[in-house]
Structure 1
Amino acid sequence: MSNTSISRVDEVELVESRGSVGRPPSPAVAGPALETISTRLSKQNPEVSDSTRDTPPHSSTVTAEASTANSAGPLDRKALILLLIQHFSSSWGSRTAEFAIYLFLITLFPDSLLPASIFGFLTTGTAIVLSGWAGHQIDIRNNLRLVRFSIVAVKISACGAYAGSLILFYRLASDEQLTREWSTPLGGGMFALIVISGCIQNISGVALSVAIERDWVTVIAQGSSDHLTLINTYMRRIDLLCKLLAPLFVSLLTSVTSNIIAAYCLCGVEAGCVIFELLWIDIVYRRFPSLQAAQADKEIENRRQSQLRGSRPTPDLLVNLRTNLRSYFHNNLSDWREFTQHPIFLSSISISCLYFTVLAFDGTMISYLKSESYTDPFIAGMRGLNVVAGLLGTVAMPFLERKLGLVRAGNWSIWSEAICLLPVILSFYVGGSLPSAHGPTWKSALLFGGMMLSRIGLWAFDLCQLKELQLALATHPRRNAISALQYSLQNIADMLKYVLTMILSQPSQFRIAALTSFVSVVVGATTYLGYVRRERGHILHSDKIPLLRRRSE
């Protein structure tokens, strides 16, 4: 396909190329059709203005999706609401468990941070190793069944972690020394249960997220860029609200009642929500015919691939373990190779770099702030302001996309985050002392103000990158397996952050970790420039910059 992007395409030809069911065309159909249209347009209009071109010159998939942006019908409002309610329930459960389990571990083992560090390291490592496998299962298995299984697995594993914590809390109430030393048989056994449950919950959550947020959302949008932006934005806002409210809810529950009652309540909520989530997801699947049609297409493709390999459509993983393991590693390596060669890989590297940071209100940052005498209400207030700023980012992203185009909107967003983090770094290195509750007010203002403003760019870029990934892999036969590899990259960066904080464990060394985090953000933004150039053919409009215009002349 030529480098000339398609700026206008006849609607009649697009409707015909989409097929009778209104789904995005298959590569076999879309490719020749778009090639013919592109050739004809290039002959009629050989020069296309750079200012209007924001579609990738090397990506026919994104071009096809952008061309069909407004051809999909209206969304089923009831089904969309139920999808968002299910996502809220799932995100709420994940956020409460994420915060509560760490809180329980710190309470149970106050003399050592090692249990909490091991828990985070192993659960993150599990996601790194098995994310690709989880995505592959979404590609080859029945989607509805896998989503149901993932929902049940997430809820059961969360209940298992709460149950292990409850047993330790009861034993702690009867004999404080039994669980204060986490290496005792009881402490070690229950800690193992909590870790295993956390690993299962993490990988099941990855599968659920890839299946719904990457796969289902793309299918439901039916090639409409507006629909895709709308659904992604709503889901990200739900994630942010849960990120803000779930920890506050857990803190309120443990403060008003006790850790035991809080664990019982959280476990009961998880057990009760599983029934409703299964019901909601079934209704969503039935009310969106495109999901059923996509599943039928996938089954046909899987049968065709199985016939070519001379194997059954869905081989039993328990039969011939050695063959299955060899096949798993071969497929995983093949997916990684294809992922690294795909144009979207640079964009995935960019967002993964943003996960290698201590400049976020996670456990590491909160521990540092408490060591510098910041009060809990103040920290909670600053965290709330950061979430509000993140919500503003989800509002800004659709506006930026309309004004600048998707790729340029992502570029502006990630660089705005990097620029806003500059005052944060200055607060650690200017003025001698570290930011603290008893230090100069201007240092705290730089620290918290810069972090808050950076959240706008962070979440706007997150939405841009998510949509880029969805469009780039929309017609890929193994899009879920490859999408899951981005989770692996993000978890690798997250794990490296844990390694960094284990090395720089003293509060006085936090400034080094902060500087390293800022460098990682700049590296991510610079990498994204490579993606911008690859997709748009240039980074800056040379005709709009006098110096560059004279050189080109």
Structure 2
Amino acid sequence: MAMVNEDASGMHRRGEEEPTSMDSETTEDSQPLISSFPTPQETARLNNLQRGARVRNLSQGTLDLKGLYLSHFLSTWNSRTYEFAAVVFTVEAFPNTLLPASISGIAQCITLIILSPLVGAWADHSASRLNSLKVTILSQRLAALAACLSWTLLLWSPSNSYPIGLKWAIFSVIVVLSCVSRLAAGGNVVVMERDWVPTLAPVVGESSLHILNATMRRIDLMCKVLAPGFVTLLPTVFGAINATAERSIFWSVIAIALMSLLSPWVELVSAQKVWHQNELLQAPKIMEREVAQNTQENTSATNLMQHLRHKFSGFMRFCQSVVFLPTISISLMYLSVLTFSSPMITFLLNAGFSLPVVTVARLSSSLLEVSATAVMPWGVKTIRNRPVKYWRRANEEEEVGFLEEYSLPSANLNIDKAEVERVGLWAVWWMTLSLIPAVYGVVGLAASEKPNPPGLPNLLFSLPMLFGVAFSRIGLWTYDLTYSQLQQTLPPPALRGEFTGIEQSFVSAAELLQWILTAIMSRPEKFNVLAFISWTAVLGAAACYAWFIRKRRGHLLHVKISNCCKN
């Protein structure tokens, strides 16, 4: 599906010259090219298919995306629900210790680091988009269902009734199943957000890709906000019923297991309805012949070293790609502990904050995260409506690299590439600057005495920290949306899944490093050191993305040329 001719590849570069013959070679600043092009017949077939689908969509009305959104909501809701419920179940089964939760978290991070690229490559090489989505949905639900059944064994009996060896054996099975569920959830993101959404964008409407991304991310964030409350509500409801009051946690496991059993059928039917409505989704994927050849060789190879060399070459291709720097940037952002997660909440409670204050602060932060799904499309629209002239033309043909040479004709892909990249630059620096007062507040609170009774201690430090952390989330999720669109539009379609899998490995590595740093500096008085490390990592993320923009556009700031300078 990765294909383009010279005429189409330059259509999105407003006011720029046609590429010269140097663009087909490797220049000093460009990336090495993939050696084989799709055939002209493949290019013509896909272009005709896309043109016909767009015409039919306009004649029949807007493509109905309710099925897409419903399927994505149920998938995200079940994933978020089980993820938070597993923490509650672990505390119930292993009270007074954080060791089981730490083991599960580290195991899931390591699993994603090692296996996410393989899942992404599998998604790329799966000819049918519908079949690959079915596999990810069913794998995730079956793993969560089996894990819930294991939790019922562990929670049916009182905590001390099982031998310690049997108890840990059951928990080990749960950890393995949780890793499978998390990996399948990542595969669902690869298939749905990196393949289905950009494929549907050309037939939805003008400038539709960032709108689709914002809607999908809004669903993610709403599930993130509401799922913990739902899980917390379940034991309360079952505790109020006489028949289930003594085993409220056990019956909560049963309720989540029933959701995992029933929801996949609705997800599959909803997704299949969208798939039947769109010919582009039904069309088999077209891979670069070099990638397909490597796949065939790899499946028939018995030599482990050949397999490892092939995977290493895919990793090096990603490191040489134009999306490498944005990936490093978003990974560094997820290294930060300056968010309302368990390490910071523990610090706040030890610093003298009351639980209601922490709850309100976390809810406010979540609402600001959701607002980023409106900020990003607004930013793209605002920047597009305010064109600027540059001191010099950005030499984009030399800077873009090999990936864009294989993208679809951008006139058909409503991607607003320059505007999206500029919104990402503003977002990453918004987050960096917002966290400065947050670090100041953490340092001040760490040096202050804990008030008695708890409440909102030392307003001079508390307010800058709370507002800084909360408003930084707008920058994080606006950049997250920007990065998602870059991953959808810059890599060739045949490599989107592989690149997204490697991205998930980088992010999981950052999360694992956060776990390690938190374990090393676990005392609350050391949280100011973690805060400074976090801000330094975010500053590094901003620098990486600024370097990416400089390479892409030849500049960072857009300066209007005054009338006196035009002559």
Given the two structures, how large is their TM-score scaled by the length of structure 2? 0.79
What does residue 448 of structure 2 align with? 433
Alpha-carbon distance, 1:373 to partner: 4.8
Matched, 1:95 2:87: no
Q: Distance in 1 between matches of 2:262 and 2:137?
A: 12
Match of 2:331 among 335, 352, 376: 352
* Alignment-derived partner of residue 124 in structure 1: 109
Cα distance, 1:58–1:287 mapped onto 2, change above 3 Å: farther
Residue 402 (structure 1) shift = 2.2
Alignment partners' CA distance in 2, 1:96 and 1:40: 49
1:402 paired with 2:377, answer no
Do the aligned partners of residues 502 and 376 (structure 1) sit closer, same or farther apart at CA in structure 2, a change above 3 Å counting? same
Partners of 1:435 and 1:443 within 8 A in 2: no
Higher relative contact order (CA 8 A, sep 6+): 2
Q: Which residue of 1 aligns with 2:286?
A: 297
Secondary structure at the aligned position of 2:326 is classed as helix
Match of 1:451 in 2: 469
Aligned residues: 487
Q: Structure 1: how far apart are the matches of 2:15 and 2:546? A: 31
Query: Given that residues 124 and 497 in structure 2 are in contact (C-alpha distance below 8 angstroms), is that contact kept between their aligned partners in structure 1?
Result: yes
Q: Where does residue 155 of structure 1 map in the other structure?
A: 141
> Which residue of the partner structure matches residue 423 of structure 1?
437
Mapped contact 1:435–1:447 kept (Cα < 8 A):
no
Letter in 2 for 1:539: L
Alpha-carbon shift at residue 390 of structure 1 (Å): 1.1
- Out of 311, 333, 336, the position equivalent to 1:332 is 311
Q: Is the 2:10–2:18 Cα contact (8 Å) retained in structure 1?
A: no
- Which residue of the partner structure matches residue 518 of structure 1? 535
Aligned mates of 1:194, 1:472 — CA distance in 2: 38
Q: Which moved more, 1:278-287 or 1:90-99?
A: 278-287
> Deviation at 1:380?
2.8
User: 1:279 aligns to what?
Assistant: 269
Superposed displacement of residue 177, structure 1 = 2.2
Cα distance 1:434–1:354, how it changes in 2: closer, same or farther (>3 A)? farther
Unpaired segments of 5 or more residues in structure 2? 20-28, 34-49, 239-247, 384-418
For residue 271 of structure 1, report the CA deviation from its aligned partner.
0.8
Deviations 1:350-380 (A, max 9, x none): 1111110111222222333333454444333
**Kept after mapping to 2: 8 A contact 1:414/1:461:** yes
- Once the two structures are superposed, residues 58-95 of structure 1 have per-residue CA deviations (whole angstroms, 9 ceiling, x without a partner) of 6999xxxxxx99x9565875641110111110111111
Gaps of 5+ in 1: 1-24, 45-56, 62-67
Q: 1:145 to 1:250 in 2, by over 3 A?
A: same
Shift of 1:518: 1.1
Does 1:249 find its partner at 2:239? Answer: no
Which residue of 1 is the match for residue 216 of structure 2?
235
Write the letter of the residue equivalent to 1:125. Answer: I
Cα distance, 1:39–1:102 mapped onto 2, change above 3 Å: closer
Structure 1 equivalent of residue 168 of structure 2: 188
- Aligned partner of 2:322 in structure 1 is 343
* 1:43 positional shift: 8.0
CA distance in 2, matches of 1:88, 1:227: 19
The alignment-based identity, stated in percent, is 28
- Give distance in 2, aligned partners of 1:35 and 1:522: 34
CA displacement at 1:40 relative to structure 2: 11
Matched, 1:534 2:509: no
C-alpha distance in structure 2 between counterparts of 1:543 and 1:288, whole Å: 43
* 2:197 counterpart residue number: 217
- 1:226 match: secondary structure: coil
Query: Residues 520 and 544 from structure 1, CA distance in 2 versus in 1: closer, same or farther, beyond 3 angstroms?
Result: farther
> Which whole-Å deviations, capped at 9, do the CAs of 1:171-218 have from their partners, x for residues lacking one?
22xxx3246x8xx12211111111001110111111111011001111
Residues 31 and 320, structure 2, Cα contact 8 Å, conserved in 1: no
Q: Which amino acid aligns with 2:420?
A: L
CA distance in 2, matches of 1:335, 1:369: 43
Contact 2:294 2:310 in 1 (8 A): no
Q: 1:359 touches 1:517 (CA, 8 Å); kept in 2?
A: yes
1:495-524 Cα shifts (integer Å, max 9, x gaps) = 110011110111111121111111111110
Query: Partner letter of residue 99 of structure 1?
Result: F
